[in-house]
């Protein structure tokens, strides 16, 4: 099973192919994820992780198309991003894109030509402020208060047409 960690940052994972743009951190491959194509063969990976990277890139939909290309049919794609209304997202000047729980609806996936992606799981994560998961009526309160959500995790299965 071949695993890819795109935009690994300091999260170097043993047994994975770790890719990052920075030369000052441990990565197996140094590559700018805004440059296409990626230095991999088609249908090479079984699992791809993109954790806190997609929001930094110019064209997330192009990145996801490239991931579909380099992953095998049946592969798992895990994407973790800060919620658009999180404090971390609002205060990081390097974030170029925002994501909410509705960013990967089937309509959006098809609109961006990503029909091979099948959303399997969507989870709200609270790595810092675990107490936030107990706030009632978050869907209503998010309209009035930033910072109710921290991160989002999306898990996809890649199903390519044969």
Q: Which residues pair with 51 in a beta bridge?
A: 80
* pLDDT tens profile 19-62: 999 999 999 999 999 999 999 999 999 999 999 999 999 999 99
Domain hosting residue 27, numbered range: 3-158
Contact indicator for 74, 47 with CB cutoff of 8 Å: no
Find the CATH number of the domain harbouring 94: 3.40.50.150
pLDDT score for 136: 66
What does the alpha-carbon distance between residue 62 and residue 8 come to, in Å, rounded to a whole number? 18
Contact 92, 115 (CB under 8 A): no
State the total domains in the chain.
1
pLDDT, one tens digit per residue, over 60-87 is 999 999 999 999 999 999 999 988 777 6
Tokens of 109: 């996936």
Stated pTM of the model: 0.86
Question: By the 8 A CB rule, do 79 and 153 touch?
Answer: yes
Degrees to nearest 5, angle at CA 30 with 98 and 7: 25
Spell out the residues 6+ positions from residue 97 whose beta carbon is closer than 8 angstroms to its own. 54, 55, 57, 60
């Amino acid at each position: 099973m071949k695993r890819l960690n795109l935009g690994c940052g300091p999260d170097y994972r043993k047994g994975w192919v770790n890719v990052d743009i920075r030369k000052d951190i441990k990565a197996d491959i140094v590559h700018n994820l805004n440059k296409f194509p990626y230095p991999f063969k088609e249908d090479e990976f079984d699992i791809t992780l993109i954790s806190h990277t997609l929001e930094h890139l110019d064209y997330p939909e192009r990145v996801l198309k490239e991931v579909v290309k380099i992953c095998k049919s049946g592969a798992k794609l895990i994407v973790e991003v800060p919620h658009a209304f999180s404090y971390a997202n609002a205060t990081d000047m390097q974030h170029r894109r925002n994501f909410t729980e509705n960013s990967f609806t089937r309509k959006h996936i098809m609109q961006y030509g990503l029909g091979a992606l099948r959303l399997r799981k969507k989870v709200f994560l609270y790595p810092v402020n675990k107490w936030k998961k107990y706030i009632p009526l978050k869907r209503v309160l998010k309209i009035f208060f930033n910072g109710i959500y921290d991160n989002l995790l999306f898990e996809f299965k890649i199903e390519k047409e044969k």
